[in-house]
Amino acid sequence: MASNFSIKHQPGFTAIAATCFVVLYLPIVVLVIYAFNAATSTSEWGGFSLKWFQSAYQNTQVIDATLRSFQIGAIAAVLSTIFATMAALATTRTASYPGLTFKYAAINQPLMVPEIVTGVALLIFFSRIKIFTGYSGLGYLVAAHTAFCIPFAYLPIRARLENMDLTLERAAADLYATPWKTFRRITLPLLWPGILAGLMLAFVISLDDVVITEFVKSGGQDTLPTYMLGQIRRGITPEINAISTAFLLLSVAIVTLFFFVSRKRD
């Protein structure tokens, strides 16, 4: 056998992996490049320009949808992270007790159901409530987003709690700290990176949602993704490229931040 025999090598695997990474990034790169295309047509290159970003910025529908996305995302992320933190504290570092399995199942339930099913379920439920109460504000979207963000916020917080040493909390208790003081001064600071990661994850998940929002929203409640879906169905415009690129950069920024926050685990 050849002298450069490596036990980790499998023929063709590196080539496939390389193809995968190229294929994953190629469409995104093309999308970004064409966002800077000066031409009005999306099929030819007419030189570098920022005019489509400017045009998107001056489009009040785009700005409204973006602000609505951020508003819903921020509220849903904060609420779901608070609830997920409480739930994580209630379901970790304990011997099994009646209802614990039920809690795991309930918290993870939104992950198990295809989005389309959750979408129509909420459409039915909320349309009834709308008739009953007459309220048709953003509350429904916030509630729906909070619900499906909870399992995502829960994951990193629970992971961090489970890896956390109990010694410091016991020491605090031994030194007559009240449970609340122990939580605020010991547990919370140690848990903070997990909470931050959960918050960012929840925000990205809320920002990305198309399907459930599409079914739950009332008229004039487009978020950025549902606005884009409507536009893409109507035909491709260079403006959509610019909006996608801006959205993409934002997601990448949040994910990069998340990556570094959750890396600092040790």
Regarding 127 and contact with another protein (CB under 8 A), the answer is yes
Question: Can you name the residues that pair with 246 across neighbouring β-strands?
Answer: none
- What values do phi and psi take at 59, rounded to 5? -85, 110
**Shortest spacing between CB 142 and another protein, in angstroms:** 9
Judged by CB under 8 A, the stretch of 50-58, 90-98, 159-167, 182-190 that binds another protein is 90-98
Query: Which residue in 72, 172, 195, 228 binds another protein (CB under 8 A)?
Result: 228
* Cα 64 to Cα 71: distance, rounded to the nearest angstrom: 10
Query: Cβ closer to another protein: 54 or 108?
Result: 108
Task: For the segment 189-208, give every residue that binds another protein (CB under 8 A).
Answer: 204, 207-208
CA 73 to chain centre: 9
User: Hey, what's the torsion of the CAs at 86, 91, 97, 102, to 10 degrees?
Assistant: 90
Q: Where are the alpha helices (DSSP H) in 113-237?
A: 115-133, 139-162, 167-174, 179-182, 188-208, 211-216, 224-234
Query: Which residue in 51, 57, 64, 123 binds another protein (CB under 8 A)?
Result: 123
* Cα 135 to Cα 68: distance, rounded to the nearest angstrom: 18
Regarding 87 and contact with another protein (CB under 8 A), the answer is yes
Task: For the segment 2-61, give every residue that binds another protein (CB under 8 A).
Answer: 7-14, 16-17, 19-21, 23-28, 30-31, 34, 42-43
Classify residue 32 by burial, with Cβ atoms within 10 Å: 0-12, 13-18, 19+.
middle
Number of residues that bind another protein (CB under 8 A): 90
* Cα 236 to Cα 219: distance, rounded to the nearest angstrom: 23
Task: For the segment 130-189, give every residue that binds another protein (CB under 8 A).
Answer: 143-144, 146-148, 150, 154
Give me the residue label for tokens 């909070």.
146
* Cα 136 to Cα 122: distance, rounded to the nearest angstrom: 14
**Other residues' Cβ atoms within 10 Å of the Cβ of residue 194:** 27
**Shortest spacing between CB 62 and another protein, in angstroms:** 14
Query: Which residue in 75, 161, 186, 240 binds another protein (CB under 8 A)?
Result: 240
Query: Which residue in 56, 65, 72, 84 binds another protein (CB under 8 A)?
Result: 84
Judged by CB under 8 A, the stretch of 57-65, 78-86, 164-172, 181-189 that binds another protein is 78-86
**Shortest spacing between CB 60 and another protein, in angstroms:** 21
